Amino acid sequence: MLRETFATRYVTPLREGGSLPGIVEADDLGTYVMKFTGAGQGRKSLVAEVICGELARRLGLRVPELVLMRLDPVIGRSEPDQEVQELLKASGGLNLGMDFLPGSLGFDPLAYAVSATEAGRVVWFDALVNNVDRSWRNPNLLVWHGDLWLIDHGAALIWHHNWPTAAASAVRPYDASDHALAPFGPDLAAAAADLAPLVTGELLGSVLADVPDAWLDGEPGFDTADAVRDAYVTALSARARAVSGNITLGAPSQDRPSRAPGWLTGRPPHRTSGAAR
């Protein structure tokens, strides 16, 4: 289970994020990027953060530590920014914290090289969770101590906003042509061979155990939080079996800001081979 902390001081907002996350200090003396249940995206964004972040970690990808953070809404009384004050007041109780990586840099494909192996693993993972928010427009990648770190998965698992579409999402194609790591020739076949066998029901069950009941209770169409967990396990298990042959790498959008070495251009889209090949 994710460990729990208590927010003791709100430091500053991060206005780059649409949900207005903030840097906070906690009673464990750590500093975190806090994401709030009272933000416009609601608790499902936090559910996606936990599922994707902890699944990525179990698959060997780097994700800053996630913690559950309790917030007393009284902390918002001294905030001079009205928008921040209202967000804090609306987010009393359990929220999500992501370990703040001091000195980290936003990923730049022209300044940081990624191996085909690592690029393939990240692209395959993003295809698994239907992550639409890792393009060159908004990489959601950090470089810290020379390593690549994955952040911000709140927009993934888009099908959980409309559960009747979850079954069909298992075979939905994933277009990685604009993915931030497309320039590095992702080795998707190797990633599929390594990662797909790891995505078992047991592994997914351990990931879903990290999601608090409070964020799952009351989901329309489900009687209990455990029933919602089972639905996530079913959807992601089916996706893991089908995704390897449904990733497209083609020419990126013409409005890309720059061309990194190895960027795919002038090639027709193609399906990647499955893990069995």
For the stretch 43-83, pLDDT in tens is 999 999 999 999 999 999 999 999 999 999 888 787 888 88
Q: Say if 277 falls within a structural domain.
A: no
The residue-averaged pLDDT of 121-143 equals: 96
Lowest mean pLDDT among 161-165, 174-178, 225-229, 256-260: 256-260
For 189, the domain range is: 105-150+158-271
Given 84, 99, 114, the domain boundary residue is 99
Judge if 15 and 41 occupy the same domain: yes
Given 71, 99, 127, the domain boundary residue is 99
Judge if 114 and 172 occupy the same domain: yes
Question: DSSP states of 97-132 as a string?
Answer: EEE--TT-EE--TTT----HHHHHHHHHHHHHTT--
Q: Say if 276 falls within a structural domain.
A: no
- φ/ψ of 143, rounded to 5, equals -110, 120
The overall pTM is greater than 0.85: yes
Q: Is 73 exposed, middle or buried (0-12, 13-18, 19+ CB in 10 A)?
A: middle
Judge if 36 and 56 occupy the same domain: yes
Judge if 50 and 186 occupy the same domain: no
Domain total of the chain: 2
Judge if 212 and 78 occupy the same domain: no
Judge if 186 and 225 occupy the same domain: yes
